[in-house]
Chain A
Amino acid sequence: MTVLDKVAPEGSKAGERTSPRPTFRHRLSRWDVKVSPYLYIAPFFILFGIVGLFPLLYTAYVSLFKWEAGSDDPDFIGLDNFKELFADAQFWNALTNTISIFLLSSVPQIIIAVLLAALLGARLRGATGWRVGILLPYAASLVAIGIIFANLFGPKYGLINGVLQTIGLDPVDWQANRFGSHVAIAIMVNWRWTGYNALIVLAAMQAIPKELHEAALIDGAGTWRRFWNVTLPLLRPTLIFVTITSTIGGLQIFTEPKLFDAMPGSNNGGSTNQFQTVTLYLYQTAFQNADLGYASAIAWVLFLIIVLIALGNFFLTGRLARPQAVKKK
């Protein structure tokens, strides 16, 4: 408001009586102050509205129809798609697979990422080289990784089974065995993302003030104790961030299971859907079965599940790291 008060007399000409009605320039600058900030931030909201919010809302709208791609007049069926979805064994199967693969990938991934970051934070010869090296899997093409890993895990001629057999173990049919396929896909995900997460954690680790470590050192804390009682609690916000991003990514997992299928281009996730994830099922419903309404219902349920699990993670991660922090003080 102070700005406006200053602007007003400036706008009126000298010698002229200040009229109760604001001049054009006055109004313009008033508008400027009021509207400009919104215009400055508008590009984000416009973009978000077009590519984020609009699809979200439109998907909710489509989910209320029996809408076949290419058909001219979709039928409004209310919440029937959702009712059908909750009774759909294939959906629950896909959800179980997704959560299983998510747990098998995210949990080891974050633990290994923190340990790797701790190692990278130590004094190393050629530290930058190691740090860049750890990011290399992330830079590789996801599709190429998928194809290479599907080859490695081939049931008959795959390298992994070859190694298993040379050391006298039984080969695993990585595609037929449900748990085996989940492990294989989780390994693919971890190979790609662990280094990426380790670098984020490393950055946060290096932001921890040295004084805290020095104080702990004087108090007689060993390396392990300092890591547990100083480093970890201070990493909390970063760990929350890493957990939430990997939750979102993990629950949307698509490319790895799609490329892991022996049948090229298949969206079945194995012969009995043993590794079909929710996104894969969603894709199959929408683009193979052309059932856009049902696919939209799947998309919305998946969205809600991700929000719920991300919130759950947020509270859980907070709770896990907090007691340590309190103890330290």
Chain B
Amino acid sequence: MRTIRNGLVLALGITMTALGATACGGGGDATPPAAGPNEHVDLTLATFTEFGYEALIPEYERLHPNIKITHRKTGQGGPYHEELVTKLAAGSGLADVTALEEGHLSDFLDKGSKFNDLSKIGPADASPDRWLSWKYDAAKTKDGKLIGYGTDIGPLAMCYRKDMFKAAGLPDDPEAVKPLFATWDSYFAAGADFVKKSNGKAWFDSAAQNFNAMVNQLPQGYIGSDDKLAVEGNQGIKDAWTKVTDAVAKGESAKLTAFSNEWNTGFKQGAFATKVCPAWMLGVIKEQAGPENAGKWAVTAAFPGGGGNWGGSYLTVPTQSKHPKEAAELAAWLTAPEQQIKAFQAKGTFPSQVKALTDPALLGKTDDYFGGTKVGELFAEQAKKVQKPQYKGPGDGQIQENASSPALQAVEQGKSAADGWNQMVEAAKKITR
């Protein structure tokens, strides 16, 4: 018995030592001065999915022989941003230039003190007028700090199945369908008509996809400008909810969760006739619907309720960076119009810079899959329809992901619209608690 106790005491002693060692792990965070022009600088760049920077990095290194860039590329956005929060909390591990997605931006704006103010440390040519104003303004904290340079955007248009429209006796020419997509009311009414005429085929893929677009168009979203939850008092959100759940009740939804395997199969099977289409969605449709459906999909420069934006990212320089000045320069260069066009040509990321939107390389871009439509010009037009950024308080993206989307999914699975609404409100309250 005695030996056991001794062992325990020893183990405890060792643990205490370990505890002490770990507790002292913190470090000072004095900002080092900018490196000299010939001093060797190692920079890291963290992105997720496809930014189209593969060819740009060696080019930047050629232009700046003293800089060496390590590109850390992650596949999925969700885990990437979860890791960012952890690294932000740990106080180390973030890349010098760290990409943030628009949907997660609000949570990081809330922690603005952990990012450098790019309007102060960035190069002079990265002036506000380089970007579409709403893209630029969305990355400003409440006290006016700019934490990120805008990369791509996701202007919204409407994609639809020409062949299914024709079979149901609806107009199918890109110009002729525009009136159907003028407002959300006309859109859902056309959907009810389509369901009847096509023997119960679905009009759209998922209620949550439409609802997200509708909420994003409102002057105020889930969170008020006082950072308090504003779901219950917001008539716009309630109206959008009613419209979408009514459409579900009329059989307009294919009830497929976006980006799930079933959703992917749904594209191949022609399970729905329309799809809200941010610029980057064209690539998704092409990949999921496959070559066998080429020419059946079309896209038109119309979106219910005007325009909107869905997606796009920012490049930030966390205060953890040891070379903030050099990092800001790299971020500014990568988001300059010339580079944005190159990234667009490489991976189709749609540029957010005013100058890039009139670039012939962009305007001349056509897509054979979508019947040879001038997609570059189309989305440039849609991008200009976006008014101003909706204020997104902390937790906004979370509410979309973990309150409204699951609640709409529950309605699609048979819950009543009223119960679904309560589920969403309760979940949103819990998130903002």
Question: Which residues on B sit within 8 Å (CB–CB) of A57?
Answer: 15, 19
Inter-chain contact count A-B, CB under 8 Å?
115
Q: Do B259 and A271 have beta carbons less than 8 Å apart? A: no
Measured between alpha carbons, how far is A289 from B401 in the docked complex, in Å? 12
- The 8 Å CB contact of A69, one of B89, B256, B269, is B89
Given that A156-B262, A263-B257, A272-B410 are known contacts, is A287 also in contact with B15, CB under 8 Å in the complex?
no
Q: Smallest distance from the beta carbon of B136 to chain A beta carbons, Å?
A: 25
Residues of B contacting A288 in the complex (Cβ-Cβ under 8 angstroms): 82, 398, 402
Main secondary structure of the interface of B (DSSP, over half): helix
- Pick from B107, B114, B258, B261: contact of A150, CB under 8 Å: B261
B contact residues around A38 at 8 Å (CB): 6-7, 10
Q: Is the interface of A mostly helix, strand, loop or mixed?
A: loop
One of A4-12, A43-51, A97-105, A217-225 at the interface: A43-51
Question: In the assembled complex, how far is the CB of residue B148 from the closest CB belonging to chain A, in whole angstroms?
Answer: 16
Contact with B along A11-55 (1 / 0, CB 8 A): 000000000000000000000000000100110011011100110
Q: How far is the CB of B176 from chain A (nearest CB, A)?
A: 31
Least CB distance from A51 to B in Å reads: 9
Select which of B14, B19, B406, B414 is within 8 A of A268 by beta carbon: B406
* B85 interface hit (Cβ, 8 Å): yes
Assess the A262–B18 pair: CB atoms within 8 A: no
- Given the known inter-chain contacts A49-B14, A54-B19, A271-B406, please indicate yes or no for A265 contacting B261, CB distance below 8 A: no
Could you give, for residues 81-98 of chain A, a 1 whenever the CB lies within 8 Å of some chain B CB and a 0 otherwise?
000000000100000000
Q: With A and B bound together, what is the CA distance between A284 and B6 in angstroms?
A: 40
Closest to B10 in A: A38
Q: Least Cβ distance of B433 to chain A in Å?
A: 9
Query: Complex: how many Å from CA A58 to CA B79?
Result: 24
CA distance A42 to B10 in the complex (A): 9
Known: A45-B10, A49-B18. A70 touches B262 (CB 8 A): no
Contact with A along B97-140 (1 / 0, CB 8 A): 00000000001000100100000000000000000000000000
Q: What 1/0 flags go to A117-159 for Cβ under 8 Å of B?
A: 0000000000000000000000000000001001100111110
Contact: A264 with B414, CB < 8 Å? Answer: no
A292 to B407 Cα, complex, angstroms: 25
Q: Given the known inter-chain contacts A151-B261, A263-B260, A272-B423, please indicate yes or no for A69 contacting B85, CB distance below 8 A.
A: yes
Nearest chain A CB to B204's CB is how many angstroms away? 15
Give the residues in chain B near A80, CB-CB below 8 Å: none
Contact A70 B85 (CB under 8 A): yes
Chain A residues positioned under 8 Å from B401 (CB to CB):
263, 266
Most buried by B among A45, A71, A267, A273: A45
> Interface code B248-276, partner A: CB below 8 Å = 1, 0 otherwise?
00000001111111100110010100000
Asked if A69 meets B18 with Cβ closer than 8 Å, knowing A154-B261, A288-B402, the reply is: no
Q: For A70, list chain B residues within 8 Å (CB).
A: 85, 88-89, 111, 114
Q: Counting CB contacts under 8 A, is B86 at the interface? A: yes
In the complex, what distance in Å separates the CA atom of A70 from the CA atom of B413? 37
Contacts of A151 in B (CB 8 A): 261
Please tell me if B36 contacts chain A, counting CB pairs below 8 Å: no
Q: Does B22 contact A (CB under 8 A)?
A: yes
* CB-based nearest B residue for A56: B15
Interface positions, chain B 14-63, Cβ under 8 Å from A, are: 14-15, 18-19, 22
**Contacts A262-B257, A271-B410; A290 near B262 (Cβ below 8 A):** no
A176 touches B85 (CB 8 A): no
Find the B residue at minimum CB distance from A264: B259
Shortest distance from the beta carbon of B392 to any chain A beta carbon, whole Å: 16
Asked if B415 lies at the interface with its beta carbon under 8 angstroms from chain A, I say: yes
Pick the contact of A263: B259, B407, B415 (CB < 8 A).
B259
A45 surroundings in chain B (CB, below 8 A):
7, 10-11, 14
CA distance A273 to B402 in the complex (A): 10
Instruction: Among A49, A158, A176, point to the contact of B413 (Cβ < 8 A).
Output: A176
Q: Which of A42, A273, A284 contacts B14 (CB 8 A)?
A: A42
- Which B residues are within 8 Å of any A CB, using their own CB? 6-7, 10-11, 14-15, 18-19, 22, 76, 78-79, 82, 85-86, 88-89, 107, 111, 114, 255-262, 265-266, 269, 271, 398, 401-402, 405-407, 409-410, 412-415, 423, 430-431
Q: 21 pairs across A/B with beta carbons < 8 Å?
A: A45-B7, A46-B14, A46-B18, A53-B11, A54-B19, A57-B19, A69-B85, A69-B89, A147-B261, A156-B262, A263-B259, A264-B78, A268-B402, A271-B406, A271-B410, A271-B415, A272-B410, A272-B415, A287-B85, A288-B402, A289-B398
Top 4 nearest A-B pairs (CB, nearest first) are A265-B78, A176-B413, A271-B409, A271-B410
Further 4 A-B residue pairs, CB within 8 A, beyond A69-B89, A175-B413, A264-B259: A38-B10, A266-B406, A267-B402, A271-B409
